[in-house]
Chains A and B, each alone.
Chain A
Amino acid sequence: MSCSHLSTAWSSAAKVRRAQEAVVSSRPFSEALVEVLYNMNQEIQSEDIDLPLTRQRAVKRVAIVVLTGERGLCGAFNNNVLKKAEARMEDLRQLGVDYTVISVGKKGNAYFQRRDYIPTERFLELAGIPTVKDSQAICDLIYSLFVAEEVDKVELVYSKFVNLVRSDPIIQTLLPMSPKGEICDVNGICVDATEDELFKLTTKEGKLTVEREKIKIEMQPFSPVVQFEQDPVQILDALLPLYLNSQILRALQESLASELAARMSAMSSATDNAIDLRKNLSMVYNRRRQAKITGEILEIVAGADALSG
């Protein structure tokens, strides 16, 4: 029975690696985009920028995008995200600000569908590793809501991948965007678009660990010879939706990596508990009772394994 837990943990490890590869393969695009964004901003005086996606206005209604998983058996992962979202909704209620939820992920969908009193805009599901089509669907929806002024702000609640044991739900502001592409949380703390972090799943002394590495994207300034086919502001207008999409995709990927790590951790604890339980049981000499209990554990494990499949 501990073997099946271990095999689930190992298949999760393989999935974490694939999720990680997805982030790495998106990097050429995001880096090129950030570089262009940076250079475009150099060309334009910030006061001249008034684009649909950067427009700040009085916040009367907020759209909250909540990223949860498609499956359970990952410890407190989904609950932590949902708790964070609920806390944010309470904050907004206190401020007299209206809100609506866009739920991404079966677990969150089930949670919000059971609670009629929470206004929801849409329910979305992912099928496997997040793709551009998934992030595009979310992007298109929040773009239309924001530009049609049905909402004045869009926030994203998801779990950042910290390490194999911990994940950390954060709230990021998606819209309005900063023309420079800074990534800001709801407290106004911003990170430069040129700073990035790579997480790597490796082994250290035989144990699986995660290494995080801060990376600064090198900016190659545009050659002064390069001309602009349209007004630089118009070009920036074309870039920002691309940037929004890549931010959403990145969050989807990171949320998945956190979920997989949480599942591995939960399976590992379950294995340890199962080993302890077996030690104590072997002390009791009662054949029939011992056989029955062992049988039940095997059933639970097989059921859990099938569910997490």
Chain B
Amino acid sequence: MKLARKLIWDCEVKEIILSTNSGQIGVLPNHAPINTAVDMGPLRIRLLNDQWLTAVLWSGFARIVNNEIIILGNDAELGSDIDPEEAQKALEIAEANLSKAEGTKDLGEAKLALRRARIRIEAVNWIPPSN
């Protein structure tokens, strides 16, 4: 996974669930080669030891070829790095700002911030499937 600033992940995994503009897709080994836009949303990764990891991705692009997935994004946060209290506060602030926003630009920014805050809360609260 590459951030605009640096390479932040490079390892083998079992399964990846990615949010795209056309819905969530699950990626298992030998997935058909595709290019896809990545939507703002959770990224769930099942490691080789069956542990699940969550991260939050902001919009970007992903390419899957030959069992290798490259995700280009501006920013990503590991679920484990998100402080639940801080995320909750951010959500409350975003909701307050939305009700105060006026004008296309401010409304656009406020909606975006709210969506981000909701996704981060979701990432923190997610319980991995047990199998």
CA distance A26 to B22 in the complex (A): 29
Complex contact B61–A239 (CB within 8 A): yes
For B, the interface residue count at a CB cutoff of 8 angstroms equals 33
Q: Shortest Cβ distance from A306 into chain B, in angstroms?
A: 31
Measured between beta carbons, the chain A residues less than 8 angstroms from B104 are 148
Complex contact A226–B5 (CB within 8 A): no
Complex contact B4–A238 (CB within 8 A): no
Interface residue? B100 (CB, 8 A): no
For A, the interface residue count at a CB cutoff of 8 angstroms equals 39
Complex contact A229–B105 (CB within 8 A): no
Complex contact A132–B3 (CB within 8 A): yes
CA distance A32 to B20 in the complex (A): 19
Known contacts A150-B105, A238-B21, A238-B61; is A226 also within 8 Å of B34 by CB?
Answer: yes
Measured between beta carbons, the chain A residues less than 8 angstroms from B5 are 22, 25-26, 29, 131-132, 249
Complex contact B109–A28 (CB within 8 A): no
| A108-150, CB < 8 A from B | 131-133, 135-136, 139-140, 144-145, 147-148, 150
Q: Shortest Cβ distance from A126 into chain B, in angstroms?
A: 14
CA distance A237 to B59 in the complex (A): 10
Contact of A132 among B7, B35, B63, B74 (CB under 8 A): B74
CA distance A54 to B122 in the complex (A): 33
Complex contact A242–B72 (CB within 8 A): yes
Measured between beta carbons, the chain B residues less than 8 angstroms from A222 are 35
Q: Helix, strand, loop or mixed for chain A's interface?
A: helix
CA distance A222 to B6 in the complex (A): 23
Interface residue? B29 (CB, 8 A): no
Complex contact B74–A33 (CB within 8 A): no
Interface residue? B17 (CB, 8 A): no
Instruction: Scan A234-271; emit 1 where CB is below 8 A from any B CB, else 0.
Output: 11011101100110010000000000000000000000
Known contacts A32-B70, A132-B74, A237-B37; is A148 also within 8 Å of B32 by CB?
Answer: no
Complex contact B72–A33 (CB within 8 A): yes
Apart from A132-B74, A140-B112, list 8 A-B contacts with CB within 8 A.
A28-B2, A29-B7, A32-B70, A32-B72, A132-B4, A144-B109, A230-B21, A235-B35
Q: Can you spell out 22 A-B residue pairs with CB atoms less than 8 angstroms apart?
A: A25-B5, A28-B2, A29-B6, A29-B72, A32-B2, A32-B72, A36-B35, A36-B61, A36-B63, A144-B105, A144-B109, A226-B33, A226-B63, A229-B36, A235-B37, A238-B59, A239-B37, A241-B59, A242-B61, A246-B4, A249-B4, A249-B5
**Which residues of A are at the interface with B, using a C-beta cutoff of 8 A?**
22, 25-26, 28-29, 32-33, 36, 40, 131-133, 135-136, 139-140, 144-145, 147-148, 150, 222-223, 225-230, 234-235, 237-239, 241-242, 245-246, 249
